[in-house]
Amino acid sequence: MRCPFCTHPDTAVVDSREADDGAIIRRRRRCLACDKRFTTYERVELRMPVLVKKSGARTDYDREKLRASFKLALRKRDVPADRVDEAIARIEERLIAMAEREVSTQRVGEMVMRELRKLDKIAYIRFASVYRNFEDPGEFEDVVAELTPARRGRRG
């Protein structure tokens, strides 16, 4: 670590301790040239992958875009905001755990559908209809049938 006072390249760590419940390490350092002390903070930097659209265009991950998609699908549905935040957090955890630099928007869309299916079936159908580009009522029927448990004793 370069000294911020004299820019000498060598410094020594005098003391290290955890801060912010172990999320950050605080280090006291001493410059070996000018003997001045300073503090540095070390934290994990988690980077979200770049999203690759169907067209091949790349875009940065944007949590607010993801939230807007959930909000649109859940419009006029009684789903608490904290459950939506938890769903978004699970998607972000999966994206980070994948440890890939680039992820297709298609994979993210599938993650969103999985979470919406758990949150609200109607929101899931809404999102699926746009995401999968439904063109006729039969496609809606297929998704509804997929969500509806088979009824016993029913004649078809």
* Whether residues 99 and 136 fall in one domain: yes
Contact 129, 140 (CB under 8 A): yes
Q: Which residue has the tokens 């280090």?
A: 27
Residue 85 has pLDDT above 50, yes or no: yes
**Whether the Cβ atoms of residue 127 and residue 69 lie closer than 8 Å to each other:** yes
Sorting pLDDT into bands at 50, 70 and 90, what band is 129?
Answer: confident
Domain that holds residue 126: 50-147
In a domain, 2, yes or no: no
**Of 26, 34, 91, the residue nearest 63 (C-alpha):** 91
- Shared domain check, 55 and 27: no
Query: 5-14 pLDDT, tens per residue?
Result: 999 999 999 9
Q: Is 36 inside a domain boundary? A: yes
pLDDT band at 151 (very low <50, low <70, confident <90, very high): low
Beta-carbon contacts of 61 under 8 Å, excluding residues fewer than 6 positions away, are 48, 49, 50, 51, 95
Residues 65 and 104 in one domain: yes
Listed in sequence order, the residues at least 6 apart from 135 whose beta carbon sits closer than 8 Å to its beta carbon are none
* Beta bridge pairs of residue 19: 24
Same domain, yes or no: 36 and 71: no
The reported pTM is 0.65
Tell me the average pLDDT across 38-59.
92
3 within some domain: no
**pLDDT tens for each residue of 51-69:** 999 999 999 999 999 999 9
Total number of domains constituting the chain: 2
